[in-house]
C-alpha cells in the first residue's frame, strides 16, 4: 500500500494497484471486494477522521461488488460522483445524483468501472446527540435500514458540501487541519449536512401558524445577528431552537424569501469581509480567513464574495493593508 503525504493523523490518502491491497486499506470497515470485469485494478481511498465521523472518497477502475459492514454502531451516507454505468445498492437502482443511506451492516453494493464514491460514516451516538434537541424521532430516523434517496434540493446541497470539503482537504490538508477553528467549523458543517439530508423527508410535521412562524424566524435571526462574527451552522441553530432543518427552512422561505442556509452564508461572507477589513496588521491570508468561516471551496468562495460585495476578497485585504 502506498500512503501519500497525509499531513496529519486525521488525513490518510492511499493508492493501490491490487484489489486485495485496496480492501486492506479500508481501516475499521469489514468489506470484501470482488472484481467483476476484466482488466488491471487500480484504487484510491481518502480517509479523513473527525470526532464522531469519517469522511471518505473511494475510486475504483473496475466493476466491483462490495459486501460486508462499516464500523459498528454507525450510519453511512454515500453517493456516486463518477461511473461508467449504473450502480446498484442492495438491489436498488442508484440514479445519478441519488444518495445511499445504510446502517453499518448488510452492505451489498455493485459499482461500475471508473467509479468514484464519496460520503461519510457517522457514529450513531454522536448523531443522536445532534438530533436530541430537534422534534424528530431519532430512533425511527436511524432505523430505516437501507434506502436510496432520489435527487432533491437537500441531496444536492449535501453533494456540494461533500465535494467542497473533499477538494479543500485534497489541496490544503495541512493548513485546514492545523487550524482548530476551521476544523471545528468543518465538523459542525459536515454533521449539519448529515442532519439536514436525513431529516429532509420524514413524516409531515404539524404546520405552524403565521404567528408561530414569525416567532421562530425572529428567534433564529436574533441568535444569528448576536453571533454574526461566528454564526452557527444550520444544524446548530436548529438544535438551539428545538426545531428541524426542514421546518426552519419552510418558515424562512415563507417570511423572508430565502432559506436559512443562504442567510447563514450571507452572514459568514460578512464575517470574512469584516476580518479582511481589519487585517491591516495581521498575517492571515484570504484562504486562512475563508476556511475559518467554513468556506472550503476557494473558487466558489471568491465567486460568492464578489457577487455579494462587487469586489474580490483579495481587493478587500489589499485595501486594508494599504491603510
**Interval 196-216: pLDDT, tens:** 888 775 444 445 677 888 888
Higher pLDDT, 239 or 1: 239
pLDDT reported for residue 175: 64
Which residue, among 266, 127, 116, 252, has the nearest Cα to 196 in the 3D structure?
A: 127
Q: Look at strands 30-35 and 87-89 and give their pairing.
A: unpaired
Cell numbers 477589513: residue? 277
d(CA 305, CA 323): 22
Q: 2-152: which CATH topology?
A: Jelly Rolls (2.60.120)
Total residues found in the chain within this entry: 323
138-151 average pLDDT score? 78
Q: What is the mean pLDDT of residues 164-191?
A: 77
Cell, residue 41 = 485494478
- CATH architecture of residue range(s) 204-321: Orthogonal Bundle (1.10)
Please list the residue range(s) of the chain that carry CATH number 1.10.10.60.
204-321
Q: Which residue has the cell 445577528?
A: 225
**187 phi-psi bin (left φ>0, alpha ψ -120 to 50, beta other):** alpha
- For CATH 2.60.120.10, list the domain ranges present in the chain: 2-152
Are 112 and 78 a contacting pair, CB within 8 Å? no
The vertex-192 CA angle with 220 and 242, nearest 5°, equals 40
Residue 144: half-sphere exposure toward Cβ, Cα within 13 Å: 18
Q: What number of helices (H) and strands (E) belong to the chain?
A: 13, 13
Q: By percentage, how much of the chain surpasses pLDDT 90?
A: 27
User: In what helix (H) or strand (E) does residue 88 lie, and over which residues does it extend?
Assistant: strand 87-89
**pLDDT, position 111:** 93
What cell was used for 10? 486525521
Spatial separation of the C-alpha atoms in residues 174 and 56, rounded to whole Å: 17
Give, in degrees to the nearest 5, the angle at Cα 149 between 236 and 42: 100
Which CA distances in Å does 97 have to 40, 82, 111, 159, 212? 28, 10, 15, 8, 35
For the chain, what is the largest distance between any 2 Cα atoms, rounded to a whole number of angstroms?
64
pLDDT, one tens digit per residue, over 24-72 is 888 889 999 999 999 999 999 999 888 889 999 999 999 999 999 888 8
Amino acid at each position: 500500500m502506498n500512503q501519500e503525504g497525509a499531513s496529519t493523523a486525521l488525513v490518510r490518502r492511499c493508492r493501490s494497484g491490487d484489489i486485495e491491497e485496496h480492501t486492506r486499506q479500508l481501516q475499521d470497515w469489514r468489506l470484501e471486494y470482488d472484481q467483476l470485469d476484466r482488466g488491471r485494478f487500480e484504487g484510491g481511498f481518502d480517509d479523513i477522521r473527525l470526532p464522531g465521523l469519517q469522511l471518505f472518497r473511494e475510486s475504483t477502475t473496475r466493476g466491483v461488488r462490495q459486501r460486508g459492514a462499516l464500523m459498528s454502531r454507525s450510519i453511512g451516507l454515500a453517493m456516486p460522483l463518477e461511473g461508467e454505468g449504473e450502480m446498484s445498492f442492495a438491489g436498488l437502482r442508484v440514479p445519478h445524483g441519488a444518495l445511499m443511506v445504510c446502517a453499518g451492516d448488510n452492505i451489498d453494493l455493485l459499482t461500475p468501472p471508473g467509479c468514484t464514491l464519496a460520503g461519510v460514516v457517522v457514529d450513531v451516538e454522536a448523531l443522536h446527540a445532534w438530533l436530541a434537541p430537534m422534534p424528530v424521532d431519532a430512533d425511527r430516523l436511524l432505523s430505516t435500514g437501507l434506502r436510496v434517496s432520489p435527487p432533491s434540493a437537500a441531496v444536492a446541497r449535501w453533494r456540494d458540501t461533500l465535494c467542497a470539503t473533499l477538494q479543500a482537504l485534497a489541496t490544503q490538508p495541512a493548513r485546514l487541519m492545523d487550524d482548530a477553528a476551521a476544523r471545528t467549523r468543518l465538523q459542525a458543517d459536515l454533521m449539519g449536512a448529515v442532519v439536514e439530508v436525513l431529516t429532509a423527508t420524514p413524516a409531515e410535521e404539524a404546520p405552524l401558524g403565521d404567528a408561530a412562524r414569525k416567532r421562530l424566524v425572529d428567534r433564529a435571526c436574533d441568535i444569528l445577528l448576536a453571533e454574526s462574527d461566528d454564526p452557527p451552522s444550520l444544524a446548530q441553530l436548529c438544535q438551539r431552537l428545538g426545531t428541524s432543518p426542514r421546518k426552519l427552512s419552510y418558515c424562512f422561505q415563507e417570511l423572508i424569501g430565502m432559506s436559512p442556509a443562504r442567510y447563514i452564508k450571507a452572514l459568514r461572507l460578512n464575517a470574512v469581509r469584516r476580518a479582511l477589513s481589519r487585517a491591516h496588521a495581521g498575517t492571515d491570508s484570504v484562504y486562512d480567513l475563508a476556511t475559518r468561516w467554513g468556506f472550503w471551496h476557494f473558487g466558489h468562495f471568491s465567486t460568492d464574495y464578489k457577487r455579494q460585495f462587487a469586489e474580490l476578497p483579495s481587493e478587500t485585504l489589499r485595501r486594508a493593508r494599504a491603510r
